[in-house]
Structure formats: structure tokens, C-alpha cells
Structure 1
């Protein structure tokens, strides 16, 4: 991987120092000292105490927020200088609903104040956000900058032109992979940050929490990426979104999506599926972007390693406080109901297609078991061809049954299987079996 001259020189000097250190402290058998943590173990750092929360809030004045520099990594992972946006210049705001669970992340690095993007995660503690590791930790560090976590973390959900519609949340703990800290391994460019409660309320209770999905291939469809790009031509004052299909970047395990977002979008969530306008399943966070040629955002899809970060966050937070009759059968007649597809991932699109007489009122009902009563779900009217299609995104995993009825007839029940996780683009049994997720909550 290409690195700057300063980093290469720093790595050489650091390597020399490590050799000298090993000669001085390594045991006679040449094995590593036992107090060195395993490479795969995440690291946890307290970046602010509860007593510091007000100080961090006071630190982030409007002037400091406006002056914070966007973090930018190029496609090779090199830090590059951001292009400042022209004063007073603003890009068009997205017309899509900005998820309450996504927001702008402010923090302080050894070089100064900076910005990225992040999103809330549903955990038992209800106080965690996910972002990129390069938005939380220096990595191995520079020539004169030792490795360290950043400070003054401030997460602002739905940030817009200086406003904080869902409050400002101060980061008190940061967690990332040791592979990032020691080797700046881009496969591990993810971090979790625990935020302090506000007025006794937890973050997820206010904005909702996203599920995390891992072990998905780089190729997926209907992906939505959110971020707060702050590098020209963007200003960082509003959220932006890119949607589309992803594919493998340069034949690696990384995923890319066509998107013009710039610095400041780092750490923004890549949604594989939504269960509503504000939460869904995050399967990656923005890591890098191309700076020449076609405009892509790049991310490594989450792997099973994200579970080590979730476990570390849970340990750091401590223990969690504890938190009738069937309907009468209707007459069978010519109402035909079909599920497309009959197997769907949680939060993914399910189309229930009904065929009956033209211009007829149709009621779609469902139930979660054969012993429960039918519950009305949607109502519509068929077109002149006698067709109507109901578009659903079921969020309760398991088997469910649907049926459609008119005033005179009812369809046969149709069974649908809703998987606990979104289904990947590649639905071969081995790939589906490998995928895992946590559940989102509105």
C-alpha cells in the first residue's frame, strides 16, 4: 500500500525502535512478552468521563464546528488534504427523509478538529454508535504523533445547518480493532463509540438503533449510503444519500458504490435494508473514496470480527438494567394471492400480488401462526385488469400467512418465511447460511 514519505520514515524509525526494544526485553526463548494483547483483541479507551460531558458540549461552539476539517482517505487508504468548500456555497439538500439514527460526528485529532459521519446501533446498552476506525483512532501514528484515540467526540443525529433536532451526544468510550491500531489494516476500518445519556435518556430510546449485518458479499443491491460530506463542493451542513448496487472493488473483498460524496462522509452507514424510514441493517461504513477517475465510495463489509467490538462495548458498559378466538372462515372463491418471493429477509421488499375481478376492493390480511386471528394489513382496489400488488417490508422474523379477500370471496392462505437477517444478493445456501445480524429497533 502506498504511504506518504513521512509515514514510511516514521515506520522505519518505529521499526528500529521495536527491534531495539525486543533485544532488551524479549525473553531468551524469543517468544513475545505475555503482557502483549492478542492481535485480534479490540482495544477500549475512555475518551471522556461523565464529568467531562458539559465541557465537551461547551467546547463545540458554532465556530469550532464550522472549522472542523473532513477526514479523507483515498482508495489506497492514504490520508489526503481535503478541499475546502467555498464560503457560502451549498449543495442541494437530499429530498429523502434523513434517518434519525444517522448523524454527523465531531471530534478532535492531534492535528485539530475534524468531522465524519456515524449511526446509532441497537445494543442492550442502547448507547453505541458505529463509524470508521480512522474517525476514532490515529492508527499506527505519524513520525511525531504516537498512536492514540481522538477526543471531544460529539454525535449529532440528523444534523442540519447547525441544528440538532435530536440532541447532541457526547462520546465517553471508543472501541476499535487492534488490527487497525497496529497495522492500519483497512479491513478493520470500523469503530464503536459509547455516548453518555442525556437527561437520563439513552440514545437508542430517542433516535432508534440499527441492526448490524455481517458476512455479506461485496455485491449487493438496493443499498443506501448516508453521510455528511464536508469537502468541496459540499459544506457538511446537510445529509446526503447515494443509492444503488454495490460490487467488488478491484477484485478485493471491499465493496464500492457509485457516489460523489466527499470527505466527511467517512463512517457513514451503508444500509442493506430498512425496516422503516429511520432504522435498518448496516452492513458496512464508508472507509475511503476515489479521488481520481470515477467517483466511488469504498467500504469493507462487516465480518464476524464486529462481534468482538460489540462484546467489548458490552463489557465496558457493564450490566444492563432489566427492561383470543379465530375468525369465521369465509367462502372460497376466485381470489388468487401470490407472494413474490415466498422467502424474504427481514426488512426487505415483499410483493403480495392479488388477481380477482377488475375495480374490486381488496383487503390483505396476515397472521403469525395458524391459531391466531387474521389481522388487516392493507386495503386497495384492483385495476382494470383485476390486479393489485401490495408492497411490504415485514420486520418480524419467522413464518407468517397472508390471505386476500373481497366482499364476496377470499383467497387460499399463502405462507411466507421471513428470515431474521436480510437476504444477500447471492442466495446460494452457503452464503445465506454464513450471514448473521443483530436486530434494529425503532
Structure 2
């Protein structure tokens, strides 16, 4: 892990509390400009069998949880359209969760999240960590799955994404199987997404399912904060002082958010956070969208 200061560390904020998930970055090996994983029908069925309602409710990572958020607040009311909790397993058997958002697509089956939620990187022996049992639950709330549980049939990240230790192009798209013949966009709604150039400060609503002592990932939390653009020699990121814990990775950063409709425009997702020795998140960052990520999104309906 990168060290920002001696007592703080910068970590990817998926809630899979295993050091193996963030040991080193997996090199991208895309035949084109994407790295695509196709999930077999048997593996999709296994994912749905694995993530029973009981397992979803009971899984909160390890016994130790980070302290409750002080800036982030539990969402009051119905979960905004398209937002939900993403569950997965990192082989050889570490369950985890992130956040994802349904976005418009030609297939009506696409959700957008952070790259490290589906890219496990390499373990300490340089073996790829395979991510399996990927399911998405839009509208998740204390174990309830009001729109159903959607298995991933494929997921992809840009060939420019170096892996979980990097914040560059830390984005991914997930193609979901319909449930009962209905597409996720039709039953759960969508959030708009934009790749427009933005001012250096944006009023932002951030959403996520942090696995902290506040709710253990069982409820949606939000921060409403200004996001500022930071450009350096390594990457370009949006940054805020939001304190959502692990599990918020992949959660949408929305501008022009309308509380009445619950809709806004996604311009980044939660990627990394700075964490103190006590497990308190002091800030969040999200990768600024690039042309490779735009291309990834525009082709997501093909998955």
C-alpha cells in the first residue's frame, strides 16, 4: 500500500478485508483496449446460489470494523435510481462488496463501478486473484433486494488501468443478466453519465455502502461535498474530505443532483481513500474520466 504519511495509508475502498486484494497491481493484457472477463452460465448460477439473502445480511467483512462516519450520513428514503450494492468473492474464498450504478446503455444491462472491484490484481506470489460470484443488488437496503439480484455475465476495464494499486482509470463496466426477462435499467432506473470537461470544483453528492460500524454495509450512505480536481505527473483525480469507509468503492459521484428525483450525472466513482491507523477515512478520491474510459463505457452494451 502507498503511504501518504507515516500514520496514514492510501487504500482502494472495496470491503474485502484481505491484504491479498491490494498487494500488487496486475498488468493489463488486452487484445484491444479492454480487458474483458466473460462469466459462464454455470458460474452465474453459482454466484446467485452463493449470495443468499442470509449471506448478504450477515456478511460485514471481519469482526473489526472502522469507526462510524462523521461526515457521511445514512441515506434517508428510497435508494436513488440505479444505485446498489455489488457483491463478489476473491478466490480462494474472500467475500467482499462495493457499490455500483446502472447507467444508460444499448443493452439496458450495464452498471458502472471501480476497476478494483472486479480486478483482484496479483497475490504475493504473482498469481492472478480471480474475482467470482459477482452479483449486483440495486436498491439494496438492510438485506432487502427490491429489484432482484442480478448476476454478472461479463465485466471489463480499460487496458490503461494498471490494477488495484493504481488510481489511474480505476473504472469498470459490468453487464448483468436480466431477471425474469427484465433488464436492470428498466426495473431499477439509471443515473446519467457524462465525460464533459468540468470546472475544477464541482458540488457533488457521493453515494456508497460503507462497511463501517455505522451500518456494516447494510445501508446506503451519502456525502454532499465540493470535489476538487487535482492534476499531477501520475494521474488526474477528483478529491473530497468525505469519510465513507471501505465498501463505498465504485459509488457514484453525482453533479446536478436533484433530491426530488434522486437523479444526477455521474462524473467519477470512489476509487481510493486515505485511512488513519484507527481505520478512519479522512478523504476520498475518484479518477477523472479519460478517453479510454469513455471508449470502455460506449462499448459496454456489447458485453
> So what's the TM-score if we normalise by structure 2?
0.78
How far apart in 2 are the matches of 1:107 and 1:232?
21
Partner of 2:145: 164
CA contact (8 A) 2:119 2:164 kept: no
CA contact (8 A) 1:137 1:147 kept: no
Shift of 1:84: 2.1
Partner of 2:36: 44
State the structure with bigger RCO (CA 8 A, min sep 6), 1 or 2. 2
Partner of 2:272: 288
2:128 aligned with 1:142, yes or no? no
CA contact (8 A) 1:101 1:278 kept: no
Deviations 1:225-280 (A, max 9, x none): 10000133441111011112111358662111221210100100011224662433
> Aligned pair in 2 of structure 1 residues 154, 177: CA closer, same or farther (>3 Å)?
same
1:345-424 alignment runs, 5 A limit:
none
1:41-440 alignment runs, 5 A limit:
41-49=33-41, 51-66=42-57, 68=59, 83-84=64-65, 93-95=74-76, 97-110=78-91, 112-139=94-121, 141-144=122-125, 146-181=127-162, 184-217=165-198, 219-249=200-230, 253-274=236-257, 277-292=261-276, 295-316=282-303
Shift of 1:149: 4.5
What SS does the corresponding residue of 1:254 show, helix, strand or coil? strand
Give unmatched runs, 5+ long, in structure 1.
16-35, 71-80, 317-442
Shift of 1:185: 3.5
Could you say which structure has the higher strand fraction? 2
> So what's the TM-score if we normalise by structure 1?
0.55
> Aligned pair in 2 of structure 1 residues 315, 220: CA closer, same or farther (>3 Å)?
same
> Aligned pair in 2 of structure 1 residues 92, 242: CA closer, same or farther (>3 Å)?
closer
How far apart in 1 are the matches of 2:57 and 2:211?
10
What SS does the corresponding residue of 1:137 show, helix, strand or coil? coil
Report the aligned-residue RMSD.
3.2
Q: Which has the larger radius of gyration?
A: 1
Shift of 1:63: 4.3
Q: Name the stretch that deviates more: 295-304 or 167-176.
A: 295-304
